[in-house]
Structure 1
């Protein structure tokens, strides 16, 4: 039985390239929260975050599940 927890690997090899997990914190009127993203290094993570800030949109619908594929 699942409690709804999501487990993320700190390091993930993809096609021989190592991707690392980086935490991203943000603050709203409700408090400080975190999301996580995979990047090659800290500079790459910063570039991804900038791109997210410029282009991210919330998808329609709710998250139904998580798969490893």
Structure 2
């Protein structure tokens, strides 16, 4: 298994709009970790985070590969 970096653009273009990248930190007994969300603005990022809290589930299996979808 090779180690690949996951590179994220600071801004994504979605339907002609710029969606900046917002960092989200969370704390566990193992330490502080981060995820990143693309959103139109900070309020949109907060709404996405709330939706993630309410609806997210861990997928079965491990991450096998990284592919681009643009």
- What TM-score, normalized to structure 1? 0.91
Work out the CA distance in 1 between the residues paired with 2:61 and 2:3.
21
What's the Cα RMSD here? 1.1
* Alpha-carbon distance between aligned partners in 2 of 1:42 and 1:15, rounded to the nearest angstrom: 18
Residue 4 of structure 1 pairs with residue 12 of structure 2:
no
Counterpart residue number, 1:41: 41
Find out whether 1:61 has 2:61 as its counterpart. yes
- Structure 1 runs (4+) greater than 6 angstroms displaced: none
Distance 2:3 2:31 in 1: 24
Equivalent-residue separation in structure 1 for 2:3 and 2:29 (angstroms): 28
SS in 2 for 1:54: helix
Q: What 5-or-longer segments of structure 2 have no aligned partner?
A: none
TM (norm. structure 2) is: 0.90
Cα offset, 1:3, TM superposition: 4.1
